[in-house]
């Protein structure tokens, strides 16, 4: 393979206004080197918006998720090719594909793309319009740039895990992985802005996204508290620094809960009347949110006694009818069956790799009143090799078969 042919404006790139409303990125090609969570979540959104996403994979370096159901959930509507990037000819093929594409997404450890000759300075020579979005634990510059970490560790590094704990309990890393999808949303925003600039001016760019900095940017309150008053905020569980009462309370049944938040004195009086506690409404110590915060424990006991005697949905409906923000705390298996989400068409279906048609998460937006929830089956490993290497890159049958036999395309 020789050097990739430079292109100034790929013929597939649409003009402004050409893509359909439901697929505004139709005609945009994304070469996706990412794996695990952050990058795949970003490219899932781009694929849902109509971009052609081509995952670069390898049988020699499988994704850590090993194509389980979580992997399938992250990768519908994408294509898959296999390249053994340890081989020079495979890297040449990757550069040739990038020369015919608009965006590159990667989240390898710092230095990997440079060693492969697939870093931005190398790629921009082949395609001056290319956009490269690179996410990593601590960013691609700085003294700690080579540290390896996953989202749960970043949540500890940034203080998120400590702040999300309950008082007196150890940090729990927010009870899940939040840094990865949060970073993916920021990354998607950057890619969309970059595509807009690329279409308008023909200019690409390199976008270096730090997962740690993204997480810290989502924690303005503790940063401001320290910067202004040298105050270190402590974990507060379900409670709020201003409003009271607020929490999650037991309901009738096994492990059923209802959450509520009182945000005004008027709502407090309404709650007292609803639960039959005129004594609380008359207590001068509880007439302000500040006073209610001081006596939160005793208030919680009163609310919990009322909620425990009825079903969670009954309590939530009753509270809402009295102008108090409340909701049932539902289990994950109940989410896609929620009547409101069903009415809005949020749940979608997709063919799984085993051939079953199964529920999947829909996209969380409507465009002109329609939800673009048509997902293609996630790709089998390398199933688009023929399309990419022969149709897009023009390899002959003999060239293609030789590269497969020699495990360059592998």
Domain match, 118 and 164 both = yes
Residues 172, 301, single domain; the answer is: no
Strand positions, DSSP E, 28-146 = 29-32, 52-57, 79-82, 103-106, 131-136
Tell me, what's the pLDDT at 157? 84
Q: Is the bond into 245 cis (omega within 30 degrees of 0)? A: yes
Asked if residue 7 has pLDDT above 50, the reply is no
Instruction: Judge if 138 and 286 occupy the same domain.
Output: no
Judged against a pLDDT cut of 60, whether residue 346 lies above it is answered with yes
Instruction: Name the residue with higher pLDDT: 361 or 276.
Output: 276
Give the residue from 311, 329, 347 where a domain finishes.
Answer: 329
| Domain end position, chosen among 329, 347, 381 | 329
Mean pLDDT of 36-60: 95
Overall size of the chain counted in residues:
410
Question: For 91-108, what is the mean pLDDT?
Answer: 97
Instruction: Indicate whether 148 and 195 sit together in one domain.
Output: yes
The pLDDT-based confidence of 162 (bands split at 50, 70, 90) is confident
Q: What is the pLDDT of residues 310-320, one digit of tens each?
A: 999 999 999 99
User: Are residues 167 and 104 part of one domain?
Assistant: yes
Find the CATH number of the domain harbouring 317: 3.30.1540.10
Over residues 169-211, the pLDDT tens digits come to: 777 665 567 899 999 999 999 999 999 999 999 999 999 999 9
Q: Is residue 227 part of a domain?
A: no
- Count of domains in the chain? 2
Of 19 and 256, the one with more pLDDT: 256
Within a domain: 108: yes
pLDDT of residue 143: 93
> Helix (H) and strand (E) counts for the chain?
19, 11
Find the CATH number of the domain harbouring 98.
3.40.50.10540
329, 349, 383 - which closes a domain: 329
**Same structural domain for residues 181 and 47?**
yes
Confidence of residue 151 (pLDDT cuts 50, 70, 90): confident
Q: What is the extent of the structural domain holding 81? A: 29-217+361-405
3-state secondary structure of 261: strand
Asked whether the predicted pLDDT for residue 2 surpasses 80, the reply is no
Question: Is residue 236 in a domain?
Answer: no
| pLDDT at 373 > cutoff 90 | no
Q: Is the pLDDT of residue 15 over 50?
A: no
Question: Nearest 5°: CA angle at 161, between 295 and 258?
Answer: 50
Please report the pLDDT score of residue 172 as a whole number: 66
Average the pLDDT over 12-26 and give the result.
66
| Mean predicted confidence (pLDDT) in 88-110 | 97
Please tell me the predicted confidence (pLDDT) of residue 175: 56
Q: Is the pLDDT of residue 4 over 90?
A: no
More confident residue, 167 or 100: 100
If you ran DSSP here, which 8-state letter would residue 5 be given? P
- Residue 133 in any domain: the answer is yes
Judge whether 292 lies within some domain.
yes
Mean pLDDT of the 285-303 span:
97
Q: Please tell me what DSSP assigns to residue 370.
A: B
pLDDT interval class at 8 (50, 70, 90): very low
* Model pLDDT, residue 229: 87
The answer to whether residue 386 sits within a structural domain is: yes
Q: What is the mean pLDDT of residues 310-339?
A: 93
Using alpha carbons, list the distances in angstroms from residue 52 to 2, 27, 80, 104, 124.
25, 7, 11, 12, 20
Check residues 62 and 129 and name the one with the higher pLDDT: 129
- Mean pLDDT (the chain, rounded): 90
Q: 83 and 125 share a domain?
A: yes
Q: Distance between CA 116 and CA 199 in Å, rounded? A: 28
- Any residues with CB less than 8 A from the CB of 25 and at least 6 apart, and which? 19, 46, 49, 50, 51, 195
Say if CB 2 and CB 88 are below 8 A apart: no
- The model's confidence at residue 65, banded by pLDDT at 50, 70 and 90, is low
Residues 203 and 68 in one domain: yes
Same domain, 173 and 261: no
Question: Is there a single domain that holds both residue 252 and residue 315?
Answer: yes
Query: Does pLDDT of 10 surpass 50?
Result: no
Kindly state whether residues 308 and 393 are assigned to the same domain.
no
Task: Determine the Cα–Cα distance for residues 134 and 209; give it in Å rounded to an integer.
Answer: 6
| Short-list 229, 260, 239, 227, CA closest to 164 | 239
Closest among 187, 163, 183, 158 to 175, alpha carbons compared:
163
* DSSP 8-state assignment for residue 383: T
Task: Please name every residue paired with 357 in a beta bridge, in sequence order, or none if there are none.
Answer: 351
* More confidently predicted of 206 and 217: 206
Q: Tell me the mean pLDDT in the region 248-257.
A: 96
The answer to whether position 268 is within a domain reads yes
**What pLDDT is stored for residue 6 in this prediction?**
34
Q: What pLDDT score does 374 carry?
A: 87
Which pTM value belongs to this model?
A: 0.88
User: How far is it, in rounded angstroms, from Cα 46 to Cα 133?
Assistant: 13
Q: Is residue 239 part of a domain?
A: no
What confidence score (pLDDT) does residue 361 get?
A: 86
């Amino acid at each position: 393979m020789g050097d990739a042919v430079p292109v100034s404006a790929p013929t597939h790139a649409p003009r402004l206004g050409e893509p359909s409303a439901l697929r505004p990125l139709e005609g945009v090609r994304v070469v996706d080197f990412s794996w695990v969570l952050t990058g795949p979540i970003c490219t899932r959104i781009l694929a849902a918006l109509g971009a052609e996403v081509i995952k670069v994979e390898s049988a020699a370096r499988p994704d850590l998720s090993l194509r389980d159901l979580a992997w399938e959930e992250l990768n519908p509507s994408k294509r898959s090719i296999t390249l053994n990037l340890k081989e020079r000819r495979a890297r040449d093929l990757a550069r040739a594909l990038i020369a015919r594409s608009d965006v590159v997404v990667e989240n390898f450890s710092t230095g990997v793309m440079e060693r492969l000759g697939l870093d931005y300075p190398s790629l921009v020579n082949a395609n001056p319009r290319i956009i490269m979005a690179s996410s990593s634990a601590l960013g691609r510059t700085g003294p700690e740039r080579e540290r390896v970490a996953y989202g749960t560790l970043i949540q500890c590094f940034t203080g998120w895990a400590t702040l999300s704990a309950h008082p007196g309990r150890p940090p729990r890393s927010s009870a899940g992985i939040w840094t990865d999808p949060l970073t993916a949303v920021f990354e998607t925003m950057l890619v969309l802005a970059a595509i807009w600039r690329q279409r308008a001016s023909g200019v690409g760019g390199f976008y270096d996204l730090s997962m740690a900095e993204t997480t810290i940017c989502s924690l303005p309150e503790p940063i401001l508290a320290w910067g202004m008053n040298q105050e270190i905020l402590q974990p507060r569980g379900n409670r709020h620094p201003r409003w009271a009462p607020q929490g999650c309370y037991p309901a009738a049944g096994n492990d059923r809960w209802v959450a509520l938040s009182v945000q005004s004195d008027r709502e407090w009086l309404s709650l007292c009347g609803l639960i039959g506690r005129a004594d609380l409404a008359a207590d001068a110590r509880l007439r302000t949110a500040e006073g209610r915060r001081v006596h939160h424990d005793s208030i919680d006991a009163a609310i919990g006694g009322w909620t425990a005697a009825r079903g969670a949905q009954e309590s939530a409906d009753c509270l809402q009818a009295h102008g108090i923000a409340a909701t049932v705390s539902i289990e994950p298996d109940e989410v896609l069956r929620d009547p409101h989400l069903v009415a809005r068409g949020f749940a979608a279906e997709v063919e799984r790799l085993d051939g079953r048609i199964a529920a999947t998460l829909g996209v969380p937006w409507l465009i002109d009143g329609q939800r673009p929830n048509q997902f293609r089956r996630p790709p089998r490993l390398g199933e688009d090799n023929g399309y990419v290497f022969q149709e897009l890159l023009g390899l002959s049958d003999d060239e293609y078969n030789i590269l497969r036999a020699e495990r360059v395309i592998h």
